[in-house]
Structure 1
Amino acid sequence: MKRILEDREKRFFKVLSLYEKYSFPILVGKINYPGNNKNTLEAVSAFNVLYSLLIEQFREYTIHNEVDDGFDGKSVLMVLNLDKMKIKKMAVEIEETHSLGRIFDIDVYEGEKSVSRKDLGFKERRCIVCGEDARVCARELRHTVDEVLSFINSRIRRYIAKYESINDMV
């Protein structure tokens, strides 16, 4: 757990460094994946889907992008020449509409300040397992890590299987 927290801190300092260098908003994309192993086959597969979506969605606005890999899993950092609120709105749309969107975690920073869903009038995230307020479920430990991982991994496997079968038809 210590290494995961250290990775998160390093990523935050990298966000600050990128903002200092470019003075444009920074998008950070990663997978919302519980447990100590954030580099499972499923987590990496889901990250690859997220990465492809973000590259496609923000291609014309990208000044810089890089992928980090560590104990906290993979993450992408993108410096974007676009208004932070517009970026967050586009990010929330991905999180809300893509079949894996609920496990995507897309944050937008301007310096050390992040743009929240509430800033745009969106509701807080819902629990992936039961649909209730995610923060309440986490605080009250309503679901075990194994239960959440099983749910998430199943969703990722179904998506990958569907995607592979579509590609087989082409």
Structure 2
Amino acid sequence: MSKYTIEDLLLAKEERVNFQYELIDKYKLPIVSMRVNYPGINKDNELSRKIAEIIKNELISKFKENIVYKDYKNTAEGPVFTLVLKNIAEEIKRKTVDVEEHHLLGRCVDIDVYDAQGNGLSRTSLGLPSRKCFLCEDKAQNCGRSRKHNIEDVVGFIENKYNEYMLQHNI
């Protein structure tokens, strides 16, 4: 696992977005993009990879009949899992929100859904509440943008959730 710079993060994000548009252009179907909510610049690490693998398998299980294409990469943004699905984008979003809200590690990931035109689907567009911060229950977007919490607290939450998952599954 490499050490990355902020420039690497920005380039990886640009490459991910371009890749998503290429997939939408090629398949003309909705896509799912999953990344781990790992703070700081070193997002590609052993913990983020383990969490990504678990949620990747959950998504494959949830959408197995609808998968047209899947891709997994470790990047400066951390692990990125992408799916192209034969399904209605709104249905996909509802199922991914269910993973984010009810899977033990769901709060540790961002699962974005884009329709066949490349438009991102938000929770609020489906009448669902905004995502809450896992430390203080404010809107996650507010805490992320303002850097309200220190990195150690966020990493601690993620580590605790992962350890809890491992205990529950006797791993």
Scaled by the length of structure 2, the TM-score of the pair is 0.91
Q: 1:10 aligns with which of 5, 15, 19?
A: 15
Q: 2:36 aligns with which of 19, 26, 31?
A: 31
Deviations 1:26-54 (A, max 9, x none): 11111111111112221111101110001
Number of aligned residue pairs: give it: 165
Q: Distance in 1 between matches of 2:41 and 2:149?
A: 16
Higher mean C-alpha displacement, 154-163 vs 61-70:
154-163
Do 1:39 and 1:74's aligned partners in 2 also have CA atoms closer than 8 Å?
yes
User: Percent sequence identity over matched residues?
Assistant: 30
Q: Distance in 2 between matches of 1:24 and 1:134?
A: 28
Letter in 1 for 2:87: L
Q: 2:140 aligns with which of 134, 141, 144?
A: 134
Q: 2:108 aligns with which of 95, 99, 103?
A: 103
Deviations 1:89-128 (A, max 9, x none): 1000111111111112111112331011111111111111
**CA offset at residue 140 of structure 1?**
3.6
**CA offset at residue 158 of structure 1?**
2.1
Q: Work out whether 1:159 is the aligned partner of 2:165.
A: yes
RMSD: 1.3
Q: Work out whether 1:125 is the aligned partner of 2:128.
A: no
What SS does structure 2 have at the residue aligned with 1:108? strand
Q: Work out whether 1:79 is the aligned partner of 2:88.
A: no
Q: Work out whether 1:143 is the aligned partner of 2:113.
A: no
Structure 1: runs of 5 or more not aligned? none
Q: 1:113 aligns with which of 112, 119, 142?
A: 119
